[in-house]
Amino acid sequence: MDTLPISLINDYLFCPKRAGLKLIDGVRDKNEHTLLGDQAHEHVDFPGYEQRAGWTLLRALPLYSDRLGLSGKADLVEVRHAPGGESIAEIRPVEYKKGPKRRFDNDEAQLCAQAFCLEEMFATRIEAGSIYHASSQQRREVSFDEPLRIKTRETITALRRLIETEKIPPAELRPQCEGCSLHEICLPETSGAPPSRNLYEPRHYAS
């Protein structure tokens, strides 16, 4: 089974063609948005750990799931040990994002995939994690409830289907296309499909 980068889950939910271009054609590009995102990750991209208020903070922790065929890196993993320090009481992944909370769920699914990896690595159940928004310097909790877990697993399955078919999804002009780093490669305006207006519908689960 091919190993999927966890970040592709975010890409697929942002835009299936974006994920296809990266996964099948190996396309990668940068723009001001990706550069700002890189800046938001600067102080968490170097491996290391520290102790703070009873928690161990693991930075740039490599992640993997043999069961799901996933690999990646967590910006931050917070670990709290049970009294005595021999067992883990709680684990929380934390993902850093440059901008505010979006109205679609790609960031939450990416974080949930990180939790899947940590659950396998540490043989434990993880109930929640956090997303830190650099623009507001605020963090919010994301609950790994069953609807989010299902959506994340469905996205992994969809990515596997992309690998099997090697067929890049068609372009679809969406509100976020203008800020996409692959816009000049994808050219969604030339697809002939009507613009999508359903991207920002409210989600149907809590996170």
pLDDT digits (tens, 9 = 90+) for 69-123: 999 999 999 999 888 777 899 999 999 988 777 666 899 999 999 999 999 999 9
pLDDT at 33: 42
Q: For 198, what's the count of Cα atoms within 13 Å in the CB-facing half-sphere?
A: 3
9 near 109, Cβ under 8 Å? yes
What contacts 168, CB < 8 A, 6 or more positions away?
17, 20, 21, 24, 25, 162
Which structure tokens are listed for 178? 């203008």
Beta-carbon count within 10 A of 190 CB: 9
142 near 111, Cβ under 8 Å? yes
CATH number for the domain formed by residue range(s) 4-189: 3.90.320
**pLDDT tens digits, 7-41:** 999 999 988 998 999 988 888 765 444 444 444 44
Strand, coil or helix: 181: coil
**pLDDT tens digits, 143-186:** 999 999 999 999 999 999 999 999 988 888 887 787 788 877 88
pLDDT at 115: 98
